[in-house]
């Protein structure tokens, strides 16, 4: 199965769980508050239910995207989607595709492989996106490295779970 919604919904919890630990005052929370200029009063003023629900929903979108990054077999389907006979049971294309997936469908489906791609996504996608924002917001380099570390851990775990959960 190339889109396992149970794995997606479970892996979407990872940013919340890692964030609860990473940004805890006894881990990196105090440093984050100092580097971001956030006060205790500002933290207490937010509607945490809304913040957690929206964070989870955004994490689901991230998990769906990560699913296609870590499971290479999904790309075979996207290449063939417009071909005659695609998804027609018994067609020559579907017989070939089913044979192909029987032979190669579990290649590169391990936690290690998914975690590797999660780290790559953190460095080559997340870092440029939030790094550019942080630079224009005049945030210190420590702020960027603090968040990059969080995303390396979160995306590695998400990628690992998504890739290994067959």
Quick one: pLDDT at residue 166? Answer: 76
Cβ atoms of 15 and 59 within 8 Å: the answer is yes
**pLDDT tens digits, the chain, 166 residues: what are they?**
578 999 999 999 999 999 999 999 999 999 999 999 999 999 889 899 999 999 999 999 999 999 999 999 989 988 999 999 999 999 999 999 999 999 998 999 999 999 999 999 999 999 999 999 999 999 999 999 999 999 999 999 999 999 999 7
Cβ atoms of 73 and 114 within 8 Å: the answer is no
pLDDT in tens, 53-66: 999 999 999 999 99
pLDDT in tens, 146-162: 999 999 999 999 999 99
| Secondary structure of 71-119 as H, E, C letters | CCHHHHHHHHCCCCCCCCCCCHHHHHHHHHHHHHCCCCCCHHHHHHHHH
Whole-prediction pTM: 0.91
Residue 133 is encoded by which pair of tokens? 């924002």
Separation between Cα atoms, residue 106 and residue 163, nearest integer Å: 10
């Amino acid at each position: 199965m190339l889109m396992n919604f149970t794995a997606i919904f479970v892996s979407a919890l990872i940013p919340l769980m890692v964030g609860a630990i990473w940004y805890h005052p006894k881990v990196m929370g105090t440093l984050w508050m100092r580097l971001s200029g956030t006060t205790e009063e500002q933290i207490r003023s937010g509607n945490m239910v809304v913040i957690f629900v929206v964070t989870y929903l955004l994490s689901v979108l991230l998990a769906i995207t990560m699913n296609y990054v870590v499971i290479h077999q999904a790309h075979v389907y996207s290449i063939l989607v417009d071909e005659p006979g695609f998804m027609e049971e018994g067609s020559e294309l579907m017989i070939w595709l089913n044979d192909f997936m029987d032979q190669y469908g579990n290649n590169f489906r391990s936690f290690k492989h998914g975690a590797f791609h999660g780290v790559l996504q953190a460095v080559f996608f997340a870092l440029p996106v939030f790094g550019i924002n942080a630079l224009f917001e005049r945030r210190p380099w420590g702020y960027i490295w603090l968040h990059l570390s969080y995303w390396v851990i979160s995306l590695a775990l998400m990628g690992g779970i998504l890739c290994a959960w067959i």
